[in-house]
């Protein structure tokens, strides 16, 4: 079974860090930047993927901190 991704999603005027399949957010932040830092720290520690959503809910960015068998060719991170 693969590990659950950690997502940054808009939530009631704030930004929430939430794992796939979870009912509640693991943390809430006033800015997206703060939520993104918390999500990336968690993803690095747990060696999983982080998914950043924009205000419209669409995926803005993805990054994998796990053992990716098909690493991307981009040099963004």
Please say if the pLDDT value at position 72 is more than 50: yes
Q: What is the pLDDT of residues 4-62, one digit of tens each?
A: 899 999 999 999 999 999 999 999 999 999 999 999 999 999 999 999 999 999 999 99
Looking at residue 19, its pLDDT comes to 95
Distant-in-sequence, close-in-space partners of 35: CB < 8 Å, separation ≥ 6: 8, 15, 16, 17, 27, 28, 29
Can you tell me whether residue 32 is helix, strand or coil? helix
**For the chain, which residues make up each domain, given as ranges?**
6-64
């Amino acid at each position: 079974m693969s590990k659950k991704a950690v997502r940054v999603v808009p939530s009631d005027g704030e930004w929430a860090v939430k794992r796939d399949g979870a009912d509640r957010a693991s943390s809430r932040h006033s800015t997206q930047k703060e939520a993104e830092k918390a999500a990336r720290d968690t993803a690095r520690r747990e060696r999983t993927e982080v998914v950043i959503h924009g205000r419209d809910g669409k995926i803005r960015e993805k990054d994998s901190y796990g053992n990716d068998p098909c690493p991307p060719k981009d040099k963004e991170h």
